[in-house]
Amino acid sequence: MKLSVIIPAYNERNTIEAVVRRVQAVNLGPIEKEIIVVDDGSRDGTTEILKELSGIRRISHEKNAGKGAALSTGFRAATGDIVLIQDADLEYDPEDYQTVIRPIVDGKCDVVMGSRFILYRPKFFGKRRSPYLTHYIGNKLIVTFTNLLYGRRFTDYEGCYKAFARTILASTPVEAKSFEFDNELICKLMRKGARIVEVPIRYTPRTYAHGKKITWRHGLIMLWTIVKWRFLPLT
C-alpha cells in the first residue's frame, strides 16, 4: 500500500524544509510514502528551498492560484492508494499519520477527518490563552451549519489532516480554488454517502506574524459553500 502526502505551499520559506523533513521522518512500516509539494506561485524563496530538497516531487504553479487549486494539482499527480493533506507550516504533527490513515488501511471507511477539538481545548483566558477567539467561533459555526445541513455529528471540518482513498477523490471533482476546497469536497462526499470517520489529531496554532493566512472573509465563503453544495446537483 502507498500513501501520497500532498503539501500545498505558498510563501512558506520559514517552515517548508522543516515540514518536509518531518514528513520524511515518519515511519509507516510497510506502507510506501510519496511526498508531493505543490509550489503555488511562491515569491519569497520557497521555490529555491524546494529545489534543494531531495526525496520529494515538486510541482510548480506559475502564478498563485489558491490552496484548493494546489490541492487539485496534487491530487491529480498522486499515485498512492491513500491521499493525505499536509499543510506547509508547523501547526500539525506528521506523527499523527498512522492514526489518520489506519481506518482506511483497515477497510473501515473511505475518508478520515482529523479533529483538533477532541484533544485540543483552546483557552481564552490566562497566560496561555489562544489569540484566536474569532477563529474558534467561526469553526463552531461551520461545524454547526454542516452538521445541521448534512445530518452529521462531527466536531471539526477545518483541521488540516484529511485522508482519502484515491479512488473516491477521482470520482469527486471540486470547483473551489481557495480555502473552501475542503468544505466543498467533504460536503459532496457526505451527499454521496461516503464512509467518513473522525480521529483526534494534535494542533499547535501559529500566528499571523508567523504566516497564518486564513481570515474571517474565508470563513464566510466556507459557510456559503456548505449551504450551496447541500442543494446544487452533484456532477
Per-residue model confidence as pLDDT tens digits over 161-208: 999 999 999 999 999 999 999 999 999 999 999 999 999 999 887 554
Rounded Cα distance between 203 and 42, Å, is 25
Under a CB-based contact definition with an 8 Å cutoff, are residues 201 and 116 in contact?
yes
- Walk me through the domains of the chain, giving residue ranges and CATH numbers: 2-231 (3.90.550.10)
pLDDT averaged over every residue in the chain: 91
In the prediction, which pLDDT does 208 show? 46
The pTM of this model reads 0.91
